[in-house]
Structure 1
């Protein structure tokens, strides 16, 4: 063999150097399944946080709608899928908006 028969060194693409891609290629079986599930769940939460203004039924600190106050500690209903809090806030809206709020 001569030196000219060697293959040229190909630099891996930018995404192949990411730690997540490297771990995905090295993992097998249950480990790979758990990694993919974790990535999907994380992606879902990021998507919900980005789309919060469009999917939240009410604002984060909204206490009333067009019909009046929400009411305190209402059980889940068609208007409030997860019910309301002691303070009268919609729980679903606060869960969706909660990802976007900053800690003080």
Structure 2
């Protein structure tokens, strides 16, 4: 993943800007490696470069937070998504509802379901 991140920098130096698919792929890879901080950095950079993340961009981040049982972070991400005009899809909601149920956070789960 570090080599992929270096390639992204090299692309930038060569005036070859990455698109949303490239960023989403890298974000997914970092999430699978457990490097959420890098995934967030890329997400921020993606937005700075003028690309709007979609639900597919946020899904690996949500799954990574689910894996380590961080419900608050998932709820914050849903709010962030809404603020930038990227509305969560049914898959995103299912991940967060599943985590809320697992953690016995019934109120949050019901609110998301509604």
For the aligned pair, the TM-score class normalised by the smaller chain equals under 0.3
TM-score by length of 1: 0.22
**Counting helix residues as a fraction of each chain, which structure ranks higher?**
2
TM-score by length of 2: 0.21
